[in-house]
Structure 1
Amino acid sequence: MKLFSGLSHQALAEEVAALIRVPLGNVRLGRFRSGEIYVNFEESVRGKDVYILQSFSPPINEHFMELLVMVDALKRSSVGTINAIIPYYGYARQEKQDKPREPITAKMIADMLTTIGVQRVITFDLHAPAIQGFFNIPVEHLTALDVLAEAVRTLRLENAVVVSPDAGRVKTAEKFANLLDLPFAIVHKRRPGHHEAAVTHIIGDVKGKTPIIIEDMIDTGGTILKVVERLMENGAKPAIVCATHAVFSPPAQEKLNHPGIEKMIVTNTLPIEERSFERLQIVSVAPLLAEAISRIHEHRSISIIWQESDSVKE
């Protein structure tokens, strides 16, 4: 087994390598003056099970192309298997056509990865779980709900409620509420545009309670801010916001430093140290990735790390 990292999130790759006790592989990544990507694996990969960790962090197009070039280099080097670890799977917000003549980019990315030679994908909390079906190769769809729930438990909150920020997150919120043994509420909203949201009403009792908002990703923070403000209008206390993927596109930091947000808990599926702020707590998914890699390599079941509250997938 060999583990390599692209340039998107080397800190996470190093953490995973230390946990599985495999040295991070040597790969030379460079750019020609024209901007084209150059890759050279500086050690033999013949017959090896290779794992490449590359999250789709900004600049997403650059890092995606880098992953494709790395996979092509491996495929031409008589590698055993090629496993792409993509903690944050970008382009997942376009998984269906909401309007005529729109792309389905989540399927496009899946097709490109499969065509270039990826034989397995390991990822976290897809924006739409049905994206797994876009692949004709194994997809290990892990969840960070357990590590986020553990971080919330340490806060020892009293009189709390889990809140789904929209109808699409209801199932996730219900699982999170089951993990924390808490009730849950639903915020109903509509989207006039890609980065716009209008909250219409709240289903459930939030008055006098600490809302725990659970999201798969936070981009600009505009939607979360509107949800928090509406919850406070309905008598809720400052919120705890949890999310797997901290995209944090500007001006997310300014928006999320809001008095209505007591704490924000996110994972490190994306590198966010440079975009950190006072109320932010980062929990690591490296132990989950390390366990998944070890079990896959040893042909053992990974059902123990799925930890879904209502079912276990073998």
Structure 2
Amino acid sequence: MAKNLNRLKLISLSANEKMTKEISEILGVEILPSHVTHFADGEMIFEGEKSFRGDNIYIIQSTCSPVTERLMEVLLCCDACKRASARSITLIMPYFGYARQDRKAKARQPISAKLVADLLTTAGANKIICTDLHASQIQGFFNIPVDDVSAMPLFYNYFSNLHLENVVCVSPDHGGVTRTSRLAAKMNAPIAIIDKRRPEPNKAEVIGIVGDIKDKTCIIVDDIADTAGTLCAAANKLKELGAKRVFAAITHGILSRDAVTKIQYSAIEKLVITDSIPLPLEKQIDKIEVLPLAPMMANIIKALELGTSLSEAHQNFEKPLFESNNNDDEE
């Protein structure tokens, strides 16, 4: 292990054990043993099994389903590290739960994303790394550094290897244009926008398409696929209006309820997601491709420890900024 990484330690909570192990192997650093137990009434207890004193701790945990349980794990782990005199506490949260509640959509609703930001800060987090936050302004809810890294370089590498022709990157709504434009710029492709209305949560109506998609290969770009109703409706509409092929690049595959069934019978040729949220075996189908975040996250952690550019680490994750003792981190 390089001298600069002597203080770097990882903690794996329940959501991303596989990712943490992969990051550990790429960096050649230790995963500190810890465990979570419960009282008879369900009250949670976190306990580290080795000293945290003076270490730069990286806690890796997406706050995915069960969201509140996973969030509580992070809070208790942060507090334990702080009280055990950790030198710094960085949260690697590929998926940030409660991000869809970033404003008061209706009267008498909370701004849950702000509340979660306050809780994480109070618990002791010094820095947070997320992937494709649902709303970028959530970074402003924190009084500590937050880096929102994009998964678009992973999607660009994947789709470039397919050698697709006549590509159009499609935003599922007007709010997603910035995210879609990132991939479109890398692929030197135009964009189209789906005009939709959302009468209630998890339900959307596709009104029409802004842009030329006839006889094109469409890639729908979004941050979250939850029940996949919006995604599948968009894909079917694109096909109905003359798209030749339809793919989807979605950072966080929540895939709740019957989402996988909808995808299986939709016009989507391939849904490409990251492993920010682990995909259970029963949801793994040929139409779904999962890209690992570990190589990119390992480079980001390394850059943080060395004080080098996060942008370079993010964009060039396939060209490591370090030599691994264990293996090549090529994706």
What is the TM-score of this pair, normalised by structure 2? Answer: 0.91
Say whether 1:136 aligns with 2:169.
Answer: no
Q: Deviations over 1:261-296 (max 9, x none)?
A: 111111111111422112111111111110111111
Say whether 1:277 aligns with 2:285.
Answer: yes
Percentage of pairs with the same residue: 38
| 2:201 matched residue in structure 1 | 194
Q: Deviations over 1:158-202 (max 9, x none)?
A: 122111110011111111111111111111111000011011111
In 2: Cα distance, 1:259 partner to 1:165 partner: 16
Q: Structure 1 residue aligned with 2:127, among 120, 134, 137?
A: 120
Say whether 1:172 aligns with 2:179.
Answer: yes
**8 Å Cα contact 2:64/2:96 also seen in 1:** no
**8 Å Cα contact 2:191/2:211 also seen in 1:** yes
Say whether 1:111 aligns with 2:132.
Answer: no
- Deviation of the 1:99 alpha carbon: 1.5
- Deviation of the 1:306 alpha carbon: 4.5
Say whether 1:36 aligns with 2:43.
Answer: yes
What is the TM-score of this pair, normalised by structure 1? Answer: 0.95
Say whether 1:66 aligns with 2:46.
Answer: no
**8 Å Cα contact 1:12/1:286 also seen in 2:** yes
Amino acid in the other structure paired with 1:218: A
Aligned-residue RMSD, C-alpha: 1.3
Q: Deviations over 1:70-126 (max 9, x none)?
A: 111111111111111111001001111122111111111101000111111011000
In 2: Cα distance, 1:40 partner to 1:87 partner: 23
Q: Aligned with 2:200: secondary structure?
A: coil
| 2:301 matched residue in structure 1 | 293
- Deviation of the 1:301 alpha carbon: 2.0
**8 Å Cα contact 2:300/2:314 also seen in 1:** no
Say whether 1:249 aligns with 2:249.
Answer: no
Q: Aligned with 2:77: secondary structure?
A: helix
Q: Structure 1 residue aligned with 2:169, among 162, 169, 177?
A: 162
**8 Å Cα contact 2:235/2:267 also seen in 1:** yes
In 2: Cα distance, 1:42 partner to 1:153 partner: 44
Aligned residues: 308
**8 Å Cα contact 1:92/1:106 also seen in 2:** yes
Off by >2 Å, runs of 4+ in structure 1? 305-308
Q: Aligned with 1:152: secondary structure?
A: helix
- Deviation of the 1:252 alpha carbon: 0.7
In 2: Cα distance, 1:209 partner to 1:183 partner: 11
- Deviation of the 1:303 alpha carbon: 2.1
Q: Aligned with 1:191: secondary structure?
A: strand
Q: Structure 1 residue aligned with 2:55, among 34, 42, 48?
A: 48
In 2: Cα distance, 1:160 partner to 1:81 partner: 44
In 1: Cα distance, 2:40 partner to 2:308 partner: 45
Gaps of 5+ in 2: 1-7, 317-331
- Deviation of the 1:23 alpha carbon: 2.0
**8 Å Cα contact 1:57/1:271 also seen in 2:** no
**8 Å Cα contact 1:162/1:185 also seen in 2:** yes
Q: Aligned with 1:141: secondary structure?
A: strand
**8 Å Cα contact 1:26/1:43 also seen in 2:** yes
**8 Å Cα contact 2:299/2:314 also seen in 1:** no
Q: Structure 1 residue aligned with 2:156, among 149, 159, 163?
A: 149
**8 Å Cα contact 1:239/1:260 also seen in 2:** yes
Amino acid in the other structure paired with 2:265: H
Gaps of 5+ in 1: 309-314
Amino acid in the other structure paired with 2:289: Q
In 2: Cα distance, 1:3 partner to 1:104 partner: 31
Q: Structure 2 residue aligned with 1:267, among 274, 279, 283?
A: 274
In 1: Cα distance, 2:132 partner to 2:194 partner: 20
Q: Deviations over 1:15-42 (max 9, x none)?
A: 1111111021111221222111111111
In 1: Cα distance, 2:190 partner to 2:161 partner: 18
In 2: Cα distance, 1:259 partner to 1:168 partner: 24
In 2: Cα distance, 1:23 partner to 1:78 partner: 18
**8 Å Cα contact 1:237/1:260 also seen in 2:** no
In 2: Cα distance, 1:190 partner to 1:307 partner: 34
Say whether 1:305 aligns with 2:308.
Answer: no
| 2:329 matched residue in structure 1 | none
